[in-house]
Amino acid sequence: MITPDLFSDDATPAQRMADLCAQIERHNQAYYTQDAPLISDAQYDALFRELLALEAQHPQLMRADSPTLRVGGAVLDGFEKITHALPMLSLGNAFEESDVRAFDASNADLLLKKNLKPQGALEYAVEVKFDGLAIGLRYEKGVLVSAATRGDGFVGENVTANVRTIRAIPLRLMGENLPEVLEVRGEVLMQRADFKRLNDAQLARAEKPFANPRNAAAGSLRQLDSRVTAQRVLSFFAYGVGEVVGDFSQNTFTQIAAQLKALGFPIFSPIQPVLGADGLLAFYTQIQNQRDALPFDIDGVVYKINDVALQQALGFVTRSPRWAIAHKFPAQEMSTTVLAIDVQVGRTGAITPVARLAPVEVGGVIVSNATLHNEDEMRRKDIWIGDTVVVRRAGDVIPEVVMSIIASRPPTARRFEMPTRCPECGSEIVREAGESAARCTGGMICPAQVKQSLIHFAQRRAINIDGLGDKLIEQMVDVGLIRTPDDLYRLTMNQLEQLERMAAKSARNVLDAINASKKTTLPKFIYALGIRHVGESTAKSLAQHFCNLDAIMQASIEELCAVEDVGPIVAASAHAFFIDPRHRKVIAALIECGLVWENIQIDRTAQALNGKVFVITGTLPTLSREQAKHMLENAGAKVSGSVSSKTDYLLAGEAAGSKLDKAQSLGIAILDEADLYQLLQTAQ
Ligand code: IVH
């Protein structure tokens, strides 16, 4: 960190204002372009406030490059038009490997014909293709004077006031000998984290959320009131130059990128060029693998011939350059129609509305179903049967319906009403107050819940029955072979061979896998039971805390609450599960079928309070007696019911009676709850 320059008494206000503008811009660039702040936020704010104060006193001295313009202010009736000095072109697209090879081959061919083909493979500058909005920034003598959207490529909109609020865009360029005019082109976008924050805020204000970061960036940039833009966090990356008057000659695109960086622009892409179609394709794969980890959305990569002289020789076809191409990723968002909405019943009976879609390719796979999560979510997105909707699939994420395009809603579209009876078993569906999910009350009589519980039980992270797929489980439930997990362990070769498409060899494999699954671990067994709210990590905590299944099954709600990460809801759910005789019967049957695991052993002798005898009496301020008992036992102590000469400590709360008197008469150490914590802490 460095200390900001102090105000020197002999500087005129104009000098000081120029100095402050320069300092603040330098810090903006250190922060946004170099990612290396030089001063603290508080120091930055102090400089900013000083400049604001001087500008208020001397409005006539306000500078065009003042960073205070970034807070917005101008409210427009509409956007003026700006004619681009050089048209803002678009790029041709490549989708397949063959398109990329054809692009490289045709460049090489054309250059060969012109006798310009260099030795060996052609060199390309490679970049990501930002999924935002193109913008042209015009700098005169290093000062930002106007900013225009792409528009139709020839005429765009003047969004200067809004662009000034984007802190990643320099208001004044760094360095000496700046060209008379320099137009820098690049993309304005919103990073995913900023998009999420904006949408959370929109929802909190009961305003419509934006469908994706691109729409949010466009909506923010095209605000007539620049104060609104100033509140949205937009980013910018430069990827080229437009009009230049004066000296800005560079031989290669990589040099242009480096020069733009030196002037203060954020550059994202690697500066290192690649060779030939193979180099391009390797870059495509590399970026595709990184795509989901990037902080912003991209929709492909861009390849540009690196040598500027060769770019000029290749020239343009209609509205795009021959020397550059965009290699697009499979689209992550597509629109399609909702053919129907129906519901799925989950393991715990949760009813999930699912949209059945006209099949559409999204992100490289065909999508024909997408979850609508729950009734509230479906209403919030206002999704009807017959609607045209936007479907999104990012990375490995389950396809999701992002929004409905209300303008295209046909008159035949209709709302979906959630059923009141389970479509699988006819039981009543209820939605408890405060719950987002409606649930089927059928429990084990509901075949859907039975199937999902068995699928959960058999999965790799639970009991792990290798080769027992979802379809096979569903088939076995349908023909009545299995209903509870213990049924799996009584299956015979004969029964399996009767199933459709089940040869002797596969039946043997399934039985072997079932047999092999008998040896498990306590956490996996608890997780496999499918207790509501008990995921893998809670199952592990329960196992570690209680060490064996019996102790867990007998634990009271209070005792369960003493487990790390277990709150009252989880504790109540686990308690209700284990006292249910149907569940106890299944657990006993599983053990009888030969399921085994090693109980967790804790070496009590190594523990802090090993062998110490405690008695608890009275009401403790925060802990229940069960909780205190558990804490003590976990530290190796014994908890006894009556005070005797063998008692080491009495833990006494409010309204302690005869036990306290007796302990006092025997000279036994008496602790309160605070002492207990202290003892446990120091004893660790
Ligand atoms: S270069 C002659 N580089 O893609 C055209 N464009 O389809 C020069 N885009 O309108 C454009 N990332 O908005 C270029 N790294 C990148 C880009 C990029 C995104 C956008 C840009 C342009 C569109 C062309």
Helix (H, G, I), strand (E, B) or coil at 407: helix
Q: Is the CB of 327 under 6 A from ligand 1?
A: no
Helical (H) or strand (E) element with 370: strand 365-371
- Residue 186 CA to ligand 1 centre (angstroms): 7
Q: Is the CB of 636 under 6 A from ligand 1?
A: no
Q: Which of 299, 306, 281 is nearest to 394 (CA)?
A: 299
Confidence class for position 3, pLDDT limits 50, 70, 90: very low
- Residue 448 CA to ligand 1 centre (angstroms): 50
CA end-to-end distance (rounded Å), the chain? 41
Q: Which of 484, 512, 511, 485 is nearest to 496 (CA)?
A: 511
Q: Tell me what pLDDT residue 1 has.
A: 43
Ligand 1 atom with the shortest distance to the CA of 321: 2
Q: Can you tell me the mean pLDDT for 242-251?
A: 92
Q: What's the CA gap between 515 and 492, in Å, rounded?
A: 11
Q: Is the CB of 104 under 6 A from ligand 1?
A: no
Instruction: Report percent pLDDT > 70 for the chain.
Output: 96
Q: Is the CB of 489 under 6 A from ligand 1?
A: no
Confidence class for position 2, pLDDT limits 50, 70, 90: very low
347: its two tokens: 């393991």
In order of 8, 36, 305, 633, the CA distances from 39 in angstroms are 19, 9, 40, 53
Residue with the smallest CA separation from ligand 1 atom 9 is 129
Q: What's the CA gap between 50 and 665, in Å, rounded?
A: 73
Q: Can you tell me the mean pLDDT for 173-197?
A: 95
Q: Is the CB of 250 under 6 A from ligand 1?
A: no
The residues assigned a catalytic role are 129
Residue 137 · residue 169 · CB < 8 Å: yes
pLDDT, one tens digit per residue, over 80-115 is 999 999 999 889 889 899 999 999 999 999 999 999
Confidence class for position 40, pLDDT limits 50, 70, 90: confident
The residues that bridge with 340 in the sheet, in sequence order, are 356
521: its two tokens: 């671990």
Q: What's the CA gap between 322 and 596, in Å, rounded?
A: 68
Q: Tell me what pLDDT residue 48 has.
A: 86
Q: Is the CB of 429 under 6 A from ligand 1?
A: no
- Residue 90 CA to ligand 1 centre (angstroms): 6
Helix ranges restricted to H, 482-564: 485-488, 493-497, 504-516, 522-528, 536-546, 549-554, 557-561
Residue with the smallest CA separation from ligand 1 atom 17 is 129
- Residue 130 CA to ligand 1 centre (angstroms): 8
Residue 446 · residue 429 · CB < 8 Å: no
Q: Tell me what pLDDT residue 240 has.
A: 95
Q: Tell me what pLDDT residue 269 has.
A: 78
- Residue 226 CA to ligand 1 centre (angstroms): 25
Residue 5 predicted with pLDDT over 70: no
Residue 526 · residue 536 · CB < 8 Å: no
Q: Can you tell me the mean pLDDT for 405-423?
A: 94
Q: Which domains does the chain have, with CATH numbers?
A: 13-63 (1.10.287.610), 123-328 (3.30.470.30), 333-415 (2.40.50.140), 443-517 (1.10.150.20), 521-598 (1.10.150.20), 604-683 (3.40.50.10190)
Residue with the smallest CA separation from ligand 1 atom 14 is 239
**List of residues 6+ apart from 302 with CB closer than 8 A:** 91, 126, 127, 128, 129, 239, 324, 325, 326, 327
Q: Quickly tell me which residue has 């990037």 as its tokens.
A: 294
Q: Quickly tell me which residue has 């000098």 as its tokens.
A: 15
Q: Considering the chain, what is the average pLDDT of its residues?
A: 90
Residue 537 · residue 569 · CB < 8 Å: no
Q: Is the CB of 134 under 6 A from ligand 1?
A: yes
Q: Tell me what pLDDT residue 623 has.
A: 83
Q: Quote the strand ranges of 405-462, DSSP E.
A: 429-430, 438-440
Taking phi over 0 as left and psi of -120 to 50 as alpha, with beta for the rest, 645 belongs to alpha
Q: Is the CB of 111 under 6 A from ligand 1?
A: no
Specify the higher pLDDT residue, 206 or 569: 569
Q: Is the CB of 307 under 6 A from ligand 1?
A: no
Q: What's the CA gap between 256 and 252, in Å, rounded?
A: 6
Q: What's the CA gap between 368 and 374, in Å, rounded?
A: 18
Residue 416 · residue 353 · CB < 8 Å: yes
Q: Which of 548, 531, 550, 481 is nearest to 510 (CA)?
A: 481
Ligand 1 atom with the shortest distance to the CA of 93: 7
Ligand 1 atom with the shortest distance to the CA of 269: 15
Q: Is the CB of 321 under 6 A from ligand 1?
A: yes
Q: What's the CA gap between 587 and 492, in Å, rounded?
A: 21
Q: Tell me what pLDDT residue 471 has.
A: 93
- Residue 148 CA to ligand 1 centre (angstroms): 15
Q: Is the CB of 299 under 6 A from ligand 1?
A: no
Ligand 1 mutation target, pool 187, 269, 271, most atoms within 8 A of CB: 187
Q: Is the CB of 44 under 6 A from ligand 1?
A: no
pLDDT, one tens digit per residue, over 295-338 is 999 999 999 999 999 999 999 887 789 999 999 998 788 889 99
Q: Which of 369, 535, 348 is nearest to 452 (CA)?
A: 348
pLDDT, one tens digit per residue, over 383-408 is 999 999 999 886 667 888 988 988 88
- Residue 96 CA to ligand 1 centre (angstroms): 19
Q: Can you tell me the mean pLDDT for 497-513?
A: 92
Ligand 1 atom with the shortest distance to the CA of 304: 1
Ligand 1 mutation target, pool 124, 149, 239, most atoms within 8 A of CB: 239
- Residue 154 CA to ligand 1 centre (angstroms): 15
